């Protein structure tokens, strides 16, 4: 267990590194949004009716029963609709405003970073508040709760689907290219609330480190990469991130 004085020293070190940094990249995962009340929709606690998210969030499920998949996503939208950004979201938005170059990569699809004021956001897994036409590919924001079924594209009449990356689908190549470019160029990276299991996001911190970045992990528990990073802080993002971002007196 890390001694309290070591934790304080690490926080002071990271704050100084943030003050010096010219190019900052942040990667966030489910651990950030969990403090706003966002459920994971996965595992034993992620059951919806008699289905698992891993069974419904697939292209095959949508092809077989699009109405069932839309019912599931409307349920998720209903859960997410009243939720608000927490202290970690707000601190990262404040950090963006004072950084010369800043990019926020997120695995989350809830849009809470943007709601907190973040603008330089790359959504690796899409956004639940956007839809995409399965016919012409047109994307649009749609915040209706619920979205009536069947939802059709205004441009071509094709069926709309959530604009998120489903299990078995590849991440958007353009988004990935931009993400890796920022990782290659940054001099400091914060990896916050991610398990270090889901690729390719899991290894992005290591990739940035290999390109010269000082990498800091913030998570409730150790991950497979904790020992490799320059600093690993254990605790809630809503408590630790504001401490790191706090302006010096």
Nearest in space to 204 (alpha carbons), one of 222, 221, 228, 220: 228
- List the structure tokens of 29: 């995962």
73: three-class secondary structure by DSSP: helix
Show contacts of 142-148: CB within 8 Å, 24+ apart: 145/74, 145/77, 145/78, 145/81, 146/74, 146/77, 146/78, 147/70, 147/73, 147/74, 147/77
Q: How far apart are CA 199 and CA 205, in angstroms?
A: 11
- The radius of gyration of the chain's CA atoms, rounded to the nearest angstrom, is 19
Question: Does 125 qualify as catalytic in the annotation?
Answer: yes
Among 113, 125, 152, 177, the one annotated catalytic: 125
Annotated active-site positions, please?
125
């Amino acid at each position: 267990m890390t001694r309290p004085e070591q934790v304080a020293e690490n926080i002071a070190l990271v704050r100084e590194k943030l003050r010096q940094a010219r190019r900052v990249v942040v990667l966030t995962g489910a651990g950030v949004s969990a403090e706003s009340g966002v459920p994971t929709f996965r595992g034993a606690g992620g059951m919806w009716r008699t289905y698992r998210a891993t069974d419904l969030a697939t292209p095959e499920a949508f092809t077989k029963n699009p109405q069932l998949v839309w019912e599931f996503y409307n349920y998720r939208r209903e859960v997410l609709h009243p939720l608000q950004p927490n202290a970690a979201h707000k601190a990262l938005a404040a950090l963006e405003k004072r950084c010369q170059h800043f990019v926020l990569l997120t695995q989350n699809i809830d849009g809470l970073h943007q709601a907190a004021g973040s603008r330089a956001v790359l959504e690796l897994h899409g956004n639940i508040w956007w839809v995409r036409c399965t016919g012409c590919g047109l994307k649009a924001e749609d915040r209706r709760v619920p979205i009536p079924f069947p939802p059709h594209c205004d441009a071509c009449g094709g069926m709309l689907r959530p604009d998120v990356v489903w299990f078995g689908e590849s991440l958007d190549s353009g988004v990935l290219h931009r993400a890796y470019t920022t990782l290659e160029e940054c001099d400091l990276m914060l990896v916050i609330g991610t398990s270090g299991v889901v690729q390719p996001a899991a290894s992005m911190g290591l990739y940035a480190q290999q390109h010269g970045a000082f990498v800091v992990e913030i998570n409730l528990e150790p991950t497979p990469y904790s020992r490799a990073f320059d600093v690993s802080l254990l605790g809630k993002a809503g408590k630790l991130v504001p401490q790191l971002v706090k302006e010096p007196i």
